[in-house]
Amino acid sequence: MFSLIQRPRRLRQHPALRRLVQETHIQGDDLILPLFVCAGQKIKRAIPSLPGHYQWSCDELVAEVRALRDLGILGVMLFGIPAEKDAEGSHASHDKGVVQQAIRVFKEHYPECLVMSDLCFCEYTDHGHCGVLTASGRDVDNDRTLELLGVQAVSHARAGADVIAPSGMMDGMVAAIRTALDAAGFIHIPILSYAVKYSSALYGPFRLAAGTTLKQGDRKTYQMDPANRFEAIKEVELDIAEGADMLMVKPAHTYLDIIRDVKESFPMYPLAAYHVSGEYAMIKAAAAQGLIDEKMVALEVLTAIKRAGADFIITYYAKEIVAAFPRQRV
């Protein structure tokens, strides 16, 4: 008989003991739900690329907001699908714009909910890029886009957004938004910067959902090369210097090493990870074929993202996970 001094299996025998020594837990409070709001009325349009998700017009959104309140969803990330697009994405900053109205719906029907608004131009420009184009039309005009981002941020803050989340990867976007918010009196509105956003093929289902698929070209002059690790630290360092309050790595499941790097380098800044549309859709598709146990796989993936170092996760699974594991009310 072997008398082994250490037997790790001793701690795996009793289910309660396993729970006791579990290091990472996924709770409802870790999750933020992305939501798509669209122009028009009486619209609850299923999104084929994101099973279980819908485009909501603001009138229909009311019932959904109540459902989210009953479920105890902690927060949402809002994306707008406007009625009209133009070269400058001018609808993005309208006081009566889709996102602005949706923010007000949340404030009226579920004020406890943390409302984050994604700040970008790709949903609003007719060419689909995340900013306005240069004269040649071949690239995004970084600094002109910065001015417009400031205006859009203030309009979200005026509508009542709790957190502004710029996702366009423009150089200097955090500083520009911070300056604009402060000048308009919104010194207390935090910025969650999509600091580390890769040029990923995993955004496909989102682009179909939001109508932001590019007619031509790609986003490689502003989104990061998936092959780059140390560049992530540079992006984060710059965003912190510009005033970012919270950081994000995106995608999440495919970038666990980056999540770990960022958390270890800047542990004092809350770190979000975006479990993106393609990562969600792959689990959905495999589950639909009966290949995997969807709930267990989703939970395992989200646990891995948190274990890697994310403090919270933006995920299309937020509702299902919160429903399966109800949040503790305070």
Contact string (CB under 6 A) for ligand PBG, positions 15-54, x = contact: ----------------------------------------
Which is nearer to ligand PBG, 58 or 120 (by Cβ)?
Answer: 120
Q: Which of 197, 263, 284, 306 is an active site residue?
A: 197
Whole-number minimum distance, CB 122 to Zn ion, in Å?
A: 3
In angstroms, the CA 71 to CA 92 distance is 30
Rg for the chain, CA atoms, rounded:
20
Q: What is the DSSP string of 267-305?
A: TTS-EEEEE-HHHHHHHHHHHHTTSS-HHHHHHHHHHHH
For the question of residue 250 being annotated catalytic, the response is yes
229 half-sphere exposure, CB direction, 13 A CA radius: 7
Question: Which of 122, 177, 273, 318 lies at the binding interface for Zn ion (CB under 5 A)?
Answer: 122
In angstroms, the CA 226 to CA 196 distance is 10
Query: Which residues, numbered 198-217, are part of the site for ligand PBG (CB under 6 A)?
Result: 203, 206-207, 212
DSSP type of residue 123: T
Listed residue (90, 167, 150) closest to 126, CA to CA: 90
Point out which span in 93-101, 114-122, 186-194, 241-249 binds Zn ion (CB under 5 A).
Answer: 114-122
The residue behind tokens 């609003």 is 124
Preceding omega of 15 cis (within 30 degrees of 0): no
Which is nearer to ligand PBG, 119 or 185 (by Cβ)?
Answer: 119
DSSP type of residue 45: E
Point out which span in 116-124, 152-160, 199-207, 241-249 binds Zn ion (CB under 5 A).
Answer: 116-124
276 contributes a contact to ligand PBG by CB under 6 A? yes
Whole-number minimum distance, CB 290 to ligand PBG, in Å?
A: 25
Question: Which of 120, 132, 149, 173 lies at the binding interface for ligand PBG (CB under 6 A)?
Answer: 120
Angle at 143 between CA 140 and CA 144, to 5 degrees: 75
Torsion of CA 259, 265, 268, 274, to 10 degrees: -20
Amino acid (1-letter code) at residue 289? Q
Which is nearer to Zn ion, 54 or 124 (by Cβ)?
Answer: 124
Q: What is the token pair recorded at 281? A: 């859709």
Whole-number minimum distance, CB 187 to ligand PBG, in Å?
A: 25
User: Pairing relation of β-strands 31-38 and 75-81?
Assistant: parallel
140 contributes a contact to ligand PBG by CB under 6 A? no
Query: Which residues, numbered 146-205, are part of the site for Zn ion (CB under 5 A)?
Result: 168
Point out which span in 11-19, 51-59, 116-124, 134-142 binds ligand PBG (CB under 6 A).
Answer: 116-124
Residues engaged in binding Zn ion (CB under 5 A): 120, 122, 130, 168
Residues belonging to the active site: 197, 250
Please give the residue ranges that form the binding site for ligand PBG (CB under 6 A).
Answer: 118, 120, 122, 130, 167-168, 203, 206-207, 212, 276-277
